[in-house]
Chain A
């Protein structure tokens, strides 16, 4: 890219950095306040000096926030791990069948799934709660896992379907000629090829379930609240200090931030798949 541009523009190029740096300040300011507040000691926390750097590194805020939030962090882990794993396996099987094995009605199923990705969940919330009550899954984590798995079917299926559709059909044909059935074709031919898609979908479902608030606040009782609901509750209370809230917000953000930092490439791919079909 660079080589196609003329060198005289390199001076003007410095001017391009100015807006970029200004916008970077906008993106970083909240993280700065979050961390600067988190690492202050209780004694130096003051709304009046919230933009000042801490005088040293203290963990009092994080310790207090962690103590308050630990059970809910555990709830979130118990929620997102099964939700992400089950979603991915289900999505992979569905995507495989939709991509490689035509069956009657497939062209109705596909748009119906796609629309399911976009619906506002307010339009199914009341039946969902009634249903979970009737099968005794209301209030706990298993019901919330089930909810994330089911409402994750559209996106996980479509991600895998798009991926499998792009793998050569010849591979499947060859396996079939060799006498492989449906499941062994999937297991020996397509599954090993789709590890990157598994990473994309696992990350996507992990992030979605970790960050979800709506399903959690409606379907779980306080003992089973995941971190988002607990954090929101902490933020709304008059008892917990703002500095501890900030530290709590950072703790709640760490898992998905780490995923973003280390697996950002896959994260981005998931985002794009969620947005642009075809």
Chain B
């Protein structure tokens, strides 16, 4: 009797959340798909079915081409930068240095800050003004005699988006470091000792013995950072506003929907973003759930 009652009660406890997730996540995705297949342009909903028209228009849309290009450049630099810097810092911090926890906290603190705050600060650090109005990092480079580093940051034609990767790396590389450091700490010491006894140098130990063991961490980090990169939005808005040169799908979706009332196009961009994240995340989730489902 008691068990039956408990089963009913546990269903009653979780069902509001399950229903909410079903509606607000999966139901809303279906609703968005429907909007993306409609002709809704303007304030009043219009669900006239037009097939894939909105998606096909996006494929022809020069602004969306800029978005894809920017996303690719940003993703490569951001993910690559975080992985390299994160791994490098983790290896340095794994040497048993004094002050390790200080450095670790220092590299991680940007994670606690919002992308908006980061964007506002870096907007002034990456001030592109030149000549007598020079400021920010360019001013610092000028004072240090590193004039060759002076550049126009995010206002550089074509490659402006690359500059946005710098604050993004600033914010997320500490997190990548923490992931790698966790991985390094899990490697038993006798493995290094054995390699050392075999006469391997420290560099060889890392290259041949330790890095291969960190591959699963690299994979996780790439997926996590990659999906953050596909969704990048607030950092660019706070740093540079809504410029077409620095446009990405998330910003296009926002402006075309809520400034331009082109709901069907906005929904199409949202669904394409979802698909790109799903392609990245679903295989990863299947892989990491494998050992977990037998609860």
| Contact surface of A with B, Cβ cutoff 8 Å | 1-2, 4-5, 13, 16-17, 19-20, 23-24, 26-30, 33-34, 47-48, 50-51, 90, 93-94, 97-99, 101-103, 106-107, 109-116, 118-128, 130-131, 150-151, 153-154, 157, 165, 179, 181-183, 207, 210-214, 217-218, 228, 231-232, 235-236, 242, 245-246, 248-250, 252-253, 256-257, 259-260, 264, 267-268, 271-272, 275-278
Minimum CB distance partner of B127 in chain A = A47
Stretch at the interface among B52-60, B173-181, B205-213: B173-181
Quick one: CB contact mask for B210-233 with A, threshold 8 Å, 1 for yes? 000000000010001001001101
| Majority secondary structure of chain A interface residues (helix, strand, loop or mixed) | helix
Distance in angstroms between the alpha carbons of A261 and B59 in the assembled complex: 47
Contact B135 A50 (CB under 8 A): yes
Measured between beta carbons, the chain B residues less than 8 angstroms from A4 are: 189, 193
Interface pairs (25), CB distance under 8 Å:
A5-B96, A27-B106, A27-B110, A27-B170, A48-B134, A50-B136, A114-B289, A115-B282, A120-B274, A122-B249, A122-B273, A123-B32, A125-B257, A126-B257, A126-B267, A127-B27, A150-B20, A183-B9, A210-B114, A213-B114, A232-B120, A232-B237, A275-B179, A275-B220, A277-B285
Find the residue from B28, B230, B231, B258 having the highest chain A CB count within 10 A: B28
Measured between beta carbons, the chain A residues less than 8 angstroms from B282 are: 115
Q: How many residues of B contact A (CB 8 A)?
A: 106
Q: Between A and B, how many residue pairs show CB distances below 8 Å?
A: 283
A153 CB to nearest chain B CB (Å)? 5
Contact A249 B121 (CB under 8 A): yes
Measured between beta carbons, the chain A residues less than 8 angstroms from B258 are: 218
Given contacts A47-B124, A125-B253, A213-B116, 15 further A-B contacts (CB under 8 A): A23-B107, A29-B125, A30-B122, A90-B17, A111-B289, A116-B21, A127-B28, A157-B17, A181-B5, A232-B119, A235-B119, A235-B123, A257-B113, A276-B288, A277-B285
A2 CB to nearest chain B CB (Å)? 4
Contact B9 A182 (CB under 8 A): yes
Find the residue from B117, B140, B292 having the highest chain A CB count within 10 A: B117
Measured between beta carbons, the chain B residues less than 8 angstroms from A207 are: 112
Contact B125 A278 (CB under 8 A): no
Contact A211 B274 (CB under 8 A): no
Measured between beta carbons, the chain B residues less than 8 angstroms from A47 are: 124, 127, 129, 133, 135-136, 139
Instruction: Find residues 86-133 in chain B having any chain A CB closer than 8 Å to their own CB.
Output: 88-89, 92-93, 95-97, 103, 105-125, 127, 129, 133
- Of A5, A112, A181, which is within 8 A of B6 by CB? A181
Measured between beta carbons, the chain B residues less than 8 angstroms from A90 are: 17
Measured between beta carbons, the chain B residues less than 8 angstroms from A107 are: 293, 295
Contact A93 B281 (CB under 8 A): no
Minimum CB distance partner of A186 in chain B = B13
Contacts A48-B139, A120-B270: A97 and B113 contacting too (C-beta < 8 A)?
no
Contact A33 B125 (CB under 8 A): yes
Measured between beta carbons, the chain B residues less than 8 angstroms from A19 are: 88, 92
Q: Is B66 an interface residue (CB 8 A)?
A: no
| Contact surface of B with A, Cβ cutoff 8 Å | 2, 5-7, 9-11, 13-14, 17-18, 20-21, 24-29, 31-32, 35, 45, 85, 88-89, 92-93, 95-97, 103, 105-125, 127, 129, 133-136, 139-140, 143, 167, 170, 174-175, 178-179, 182, 189, 193, 220, 224, 227, 230-231, 233-234, 237-238, 241, 249-250, 253-254, 257-258, 263, 266-267, 269-271, 273-274, 277-278, 281-282, 285, 288-289, 291-293, 295
Contact A50 B10 (CB under 8 A): no
Contact B92 A16 (CB under 8 A): yes
B225 CB to nearest chain A CB (Å)? 10
Distance in angstroms between the alpha carbons of A34 and B230 in the assembled complex: 28
Find the residue from A5, A30, A182, A277 having the highest chain B CB count within 10 A: A30
Contact B135 A260 (CB under 8 A): no
Distance in angstroms between the alpha carbons of A121 and B111 in the assembled complex: 20
Contact A97 B96 (CB under 8 A): no
Measured between beta carbons, the chain B residues less than 8 angstroms from A115 are: 278, 281-282, 285
Distance in angstroms between the alpha carbons of A232 and B263 in the assembled complex: 24
Contact A20 B89 (CB under 8 A): yes
A64 CB to nearest chain B CB (Å)? 15
Measured between beta carbons, the chain B residues less than 8 angstroms from A212 are: 114
- Of A94, A131, A278, which is within 8 A of B288 by CB? A278
Contact A182 B116 (CB under 8 A): no
Measured between beta carbons, the chain B residues less than 8 angstroms from A277 are: 285, 288-289, 292
Contact A124 B2 (CB under 8 A): no
Distance in angstroms between the alpha carbons of A101 and B9 in the assembled complex: 10
A141 CB to nearest chain B CB (Å)? 18
Minimum CB distance partner of A213 in chain B = B234
Distance in angstroms between the alpha carbons of A44 and B262 in the assembled complex: 47
Distance in angstroms between the alpha carbons of A165 and B291 in the assembled complex: 14
Contacts A27-B170, A97-B10, A151-B24: A228 and B85 contacting too (C-beta < 8 A)?
no
Top-7 shortest CB links A-B: A211-B114, A260-B112, A47-B135, A123-B274, A124-B28, A122-B270, A127-B31
